[in-house]
A and B are shown apart, each in its own frame.
Chain A
Amino acid sequence: MKTKMDFPTINQRRPDGMKENGKPYRVLIVDDSMFVTKQIEQYLTSEGFDVAATAVNGQDGLDKYKELYPNVDLVTMDITMPVMDGVTALEKIIEFDKDAKIIMISALGKQDLVKKSLLLGAKNYIVKPLDRKRVLERVLMTLKK
């Protein structure tokens, strides 16, 4: 009879959300839609990331970034949001921490907006609708930049 040990476990590899020291990367999700936040959260936690906080607009995102700092590795930033839009929040977070790793995640794919975001210091830009594989790829790419 086979014992449990005979089966290789699926999770023998280190999940992508873990650093080499075994601790998870900490992510702040900024989006005004509960639907999108839940979606990104599911993608990230399935790979072992720690969603340290979520924020519902740019101002909230900026405040939470400052609260979490320096224990935050990555931010996903929506653009179309009430109170403060994501491009303004990007600018303000970079002002506070020029090394912040921010990925814009927007339904808008306008070239000038993509360019502007990258010029302001965003590390990556993903256009919604979201796809699990693409989000995880870009997140890893950004963390390794």
Chain B
Amino acid sequence: MRVEYINPFVEAAFNVLREVLNVEIKRGELYLKSVSQPVLGVTSIVGLAGDVEGRVLFDMAESTALAIASQMNGEKLASFDDLAKATITELANMITAQAITKLHDLGFQFDLTPPAIFTGDNMQVTDTEIEALIVPIEMKFGKIEINVAIREKN
């Protein structure tokens, strides 16, 4: 995966999270993950198309997702309900869209698909033949792992 692809995602994640959550955001070390990987509990996914194919996963514990959704709605949400799910998927959509906008300015043509969300324990994500780069982000609500897998089309 080309390195140029990843920085726009890191920057977009920082900008959007800072703006919508208004808390301090810290970035961990980037790392590569292999083909099959367990996820943390709430995973929102945005598909990529255009010059490339791939997807971006936003993975977090349910308690983190609930705290983020509460903050974004300006009220304490009691459970991880439909509104909370819609909030997390929109967060994933906003970060990916801002990254795609930055990539566009760099001359790459990317498009995105509407986000989807999965919840549950013991989930695994399997991508065949795409390696994923993980951007870990820490904040007072917990950890988000942004998992970017992009492959150029032949």
Contacts and interface: CB of A to CB of B under 8 A. Distances in A.
Partners in one complex: yes
Interface of A: 32-36, 38, 80-82, 106-112, 128-129
A34 B83 contact: yes
A32 B116 CA distance: 11
Interface in B88-103: 89-90, 93-94, 96-98, 100-101
Contacts, number: 54
Contact of A109 (B83, B93, B101): B101
Between A35, A80, A112, the greatest number of chain B beta carbons within 10 A of the residue's beta carbon is seen for A35
Given A35-B72, A38-B73, A110-B100, 9 more contacts: A33-B86, A35-B69, A35-B90, A36-B90, A80-B114, A108-B97, A110-B101, A112-B104, A129-B19
Q: Mostly helix, strand, loop or mixed at chain A's interface?
A: loop
Interface of B: 16, 19-20, 69, 72-73, 82-83, 86-87, 89-90, 93-94, 96-98, 100-101, 104-105, 112-114
Main secondary structure of the interface of B (DSSP, over half): helix
A108 B82 contact: no
B19 A80 contact: no
The 4 closest A-B pairs by CB, nearest first: A107-B97, A34-B86, A35-B87, A33-B90
